[in-house]
Structures are given as structure tokens and as C-alpha cells.
Structure 1
């Protein structure tokens, strides 16, 4: 089954893509996930302030700059894993370095 790890972090202390790629714990985590054959994809997101939020209500559209909710921790990226069950996906999420720096939400992905 596929699981999405939705990664939340404080954008104020954001690391550059190069810093993340070279971070030894991040590399070790990715190596372990790949060794298990669990890595199915993922992507880092640009800061929330670089995007827009769109709401369509009662025939009108409201577009605002920035993230949906202004909080300290924002969605910073996602990882897609193929795991046997929610417990395995949770175990891998707990090993991710960002679990210590922010939070990681683990969700099953709908499949057809």
C-alpha cells in the first residue's frame, strides 16, 4: 500500500535543498528507505509565501497569496512510500530527520 508522509516544518529555520541533500541523517534515511524498496517518490515544496490559496464558493473565487493557514509550521514537502502497512510507514516516518525538527503526518493514499 502507498503512504504519503506530509512533512511540516518551521520555514524560518529552513535548510537549502543542497543542505538537505548533503545532510548525513537525511542521506542515511533515504538510503534505508531505498534499501527496503519503499521509496516511491517525493518532492520538497517552496515556502508557503510563494504560493496561493484558492477557494471557490457560491459561484465566486477567492484567491489569496500564501498558505492556507498562517502557522509557524507549514507543509514543506512530501514523500510517497510503498509499505506493508501503516506501522511500517510510521516507523520510517519516525526515522526521518524532520520528525525531530517539525512533524510528519502519515496518511494512506487512495488507490484504484
Structure 2
């Protein structure tokens, strides 16, 4: 099963040196997971000051600067992994360096067959608005 591991922490919690060490340790973890066939992707995110939120109300988009939620901890990155079960996903999340200063939220990924397959009759062919 696929799990999205969402990494939250306070933006000011990291010194530049600590952030670089976290990135290096995260890359080693990613490589280890890749070798086991569990790594599907990961990336840190730019600071929340670069975020834009979009909501559609009454058919009109409302665009605002910043993240959706006003909280101390902000979404800072993610890992997408393949794990046998929730317990294995928890074990992987516990190895993410940012878990030591923030929170890693574990969310199972719902897989919808054919959602992004290319070909006649797929959603990608029909377009999202049809």
C-alpha cells in the first residue's frame, strides 16, 4: 500500500546547518528505501510565504497568499512510500529526521484505477472538466 508521509514543523525551528544535515540524512533514507523498492518520491517544500491557496465558491476561484491553515507547524515536505501496512509506514516515518523536531502525518493513498492512465476514455484524455 502507498502512504504519504507529510512532514510538519515550525519554519523557524531549523538553523541553516541543521536543515542541510536533515536534507542529507533524508537523502540517505530515500536511497535506502529505493534499494528496498519502497521509495516513490519525496521533496522538501518552499517556505509557506511562497504558498498560494485556491478555493472555488459559487463557481469562482478565490486565490489567497499563504497556506490554508494558520498553525505553528507548517507542511514542509513529504515522502511517498510503499509499505506493507500502517506499522511499517510508522517505522519509516520515525526515521525521517524532521520527526525529531516536528510531526510526520501518515496518510494512506487511495488508488483509483485508471485515474491517470493515458489512453482513449481515460480522465487524462477526457479532461477534468468533462
The equivalent of 1:62 in structure 2 is 62
Once the two structures are superposed, the pairs formed by residues 1-112 of structure 1 within 5 Å of their partners are 1-14=1-14, 18-22=20-24, 25-111=25-111, 112=113
In structure 1, stretches of 5+ residues that fail to align are none
- Supply the distance in 2 between the matched residues of 1:64 and 1:27 (Cα, whole angstroms): 33
TM-score where L is the length of structure 1: 0.84
TM-score where L is the length of structure 2: 0.73
CA contact (8 A) 2:22 2:97 kept: no
Q: Which has the larger radius of gyration?
A: 2
- Supply the distance in 2 between the matched residues of 1:63 and 1:28 (Cα, whole angstroms): 37
User: Which is bigger in relative contact order (C-alpha 8 A, separation at least 6)?
Assistant: 1
Structure 1 outlier segments of 4+, above 6 Å: none
Q: How many residues are treated as equivalent by the alignment?
A: 110
Local SS of the residue matching 1:69: coil
The structure whose residues are more often strand, as a share, is 1
Closer, same or farther: CA 76–86 of 1 in aligned 2, 3 Å: same
